[in-house]
Amino acid sequence: MKKVILSIAIILTASAAGFSQTVIKQGLDSIVCPKRYKCVYSYDAMGNVILAVSYSWDKATNSWVWSSEEKYAYDDNGNLTMHINDSRKKATNDREKQNCKFENRAYKFENTYDGNNLIIQNHYKWDNATNDWAISYRHEYAYDTNGNKTIEISYHDLDKTTDDWISRYKSEYAYDDNGNKTIEISYGWDNDWIEKYKYKYEYTYDDSGNKIMYIIYSWNNATGDWKGRQKYEYTYNANNLIIQNKYEWVKFPNINRWVYVSRDEFTYDTNGNKTMSASYSEYNDESLYDTNGSYSREVYYTYYADSLSPKDKYDFIYDNNGNITIQIEYRWGMKTNNWIKYSKNEYKYDNKGNQIMKIRYFWYDDANIWEKSYKEESMFDLSYSKTDLVMPDYIDDDNMQTKEIKYEWSGKKWKQNEVTSYYWSEKAITKNNKK
């Protein structure tokens, strides 16, 4: 009975002050392509990446050689407070020191927060002369009581005489009662914030919060007011964007108005899925979807010899889940005056939507065939989903990737080119629940 009472007391105490929970996840330890490249990752207790070290293979010594590394630090809220990217190579003699490929290169930025709002960001670069970090530029931010960013100031250097920051640009923001950004004004610095380098962006919304207009202005020094540059208008049905029009401001002796530039139109099925998209512009670029979303085409034009000419065309075929299964690229034949096949990609997916194969072909007109070029295969462990994994943010797989194999076509068969393996292990991750 005492054990039960003690357990309840611990839970109540933890609940009053907030508590932490430990969960077991699979963490990505390294990505290795033998005798080519390797990247090794380290994490903090919260599962954030704190170190990523890259290596390349040195054939002379038959060993891994340090190539670069990235370091990260975080505050108690999980906000990134520091990031260092270091690719400085270590010269071993005077000749190497004089060789540009051994030049030291590294940068760092440090973030300061007020709660979860970023208020200061300092950027540094490595100074070889002093063998230390030298600050290069700085950003400062301010927010309203709702957490909306209201001011951003950028400084590009320190005054060596006064040690004061030299201003570069400033942006001010305003919002409506719903938190939608309505105005953004940017200033340039020339001993003061001046209109000479001033820009304004205006946003208008409907009662549902949809953006219906976006206008870009620049400051006209001659007239002392704003001059329109570009305007976008948006039209919606009950749920989706259906029309986007783009305009540019034209001012000539007989023209002083917004002039239409391009238009995008969209249609949807009863489930809200986009079924057709058509684009029209001064370059006559086209984008078309069929009625069930299984096929689409994009066509691009350019000006050649003072006339509009087709340039590239892409056809896409999709599976029932919206994944591209075939992409065919065409080039316009100036002599034949028709579309000529150029390349083709074929894709396959597993039942979770992960791309597990890509095959690249090129068209051989003389033989009238698609000739294989290269192939990529990816393997996943589907028993783990994204929520079960700890990995760098730039890896966005929905399941645990375990291997990637690349092949080249020899003319008769696939020749394995490289194999990259992903190594994982269990990590005890702490989740803080604050009151």
What is the pTM for the complete model shown?
A: 0.79
**In terms of Cα–Cα distance, which of 343, 347, 345 is closest to 357?**
347
Question: pLDDT over 70 for what percent of the chain?
Answer: 84
Q: What integer is the mean pLDDT of 168-195?
A: 89
Per DSSP, the three-state class of 14 is helix
Question: If residue 221 lies in a helix (H) or strand (E), which one and from where to where?
Answer: none
| Cα distances (angstroms) measured from residue 139 to each of 152, 165, 328, 364 | 7, 11, 45, 54
Q: What integer is the mean pLDDT of 196-219?
A: 92
Tens of pLDDT, residues 296-329: 788 877 766 556 678 888 999 988 888 899 999 9
Tens of pLDDT, residues 63-72: 999 999 999 9
Non-local (6+) Cβ contacts of 163 within 8 A are: none
Pairing relationship of beta strands 37-43 and 369-385 according to DSSP bridges: unpaired
Question: pLDDT over 90 for what percent of the chain?
Answer: 58
Q: Name 204's bridge partners.
A: 213
Q: Is 168 left (phi over 0), alpha (psi -120 to 50) or beta?
A: alpha
Range in 159-173, 271-285, 341-355, 419-433 the model is least confident about: 271-285
Distance in angstroms (rounded) separating the CA atoms of residues 361 and 343: 6
Residue-averaged pLDDT of the chain: 86
Q: Are 221 and 208 within 8 A, CB to CB?
A: no
Confidence band for 95, pLDDT divided at 50, 70 and 90: very low
| Cα distances (angstroms) measured from residue 402 to each of 32, 356, 367, 390, 430 | 11, 11, 38, 14, 25
Vertex 359: Cα angle to 337 and 343 (nearest 5): 10
Non-local (6+) Cβ contacts of 240 within 8 A are: 266, 268, 272, 274
Half-sphere exposure (Cβ direction) of 405: Cα atoms closer than 13 Å: 9
Tens of pLDDT, residues 372-397: 999 999 999 999 999 999 999 989 99
Non-local (6+) Cβ contacts of 239 within 8 A are: 268, 272
Confidence band for 100, pLDDT divided at 50, 70 and 90: very low
Neighbours of 418 (CB within 10 A): 14
pLDDT at 3: 36
Confidence band for 13, pLDDT divided at 50, 70 and 90: very low
Q: What integer is the mean pLDDT of 142-166?
A: 90
Confidence band for 90, pLDDT divided at 50, 70 and 90: low
Over 50: is that where the pLDDT of 9 sits? no
pLDDT at 254: 65
Tens of pLDDT, residues 54-63: 999 999 999 9
Range in 293-307, 330-344, 348-362 the model is least confident about: 293-307
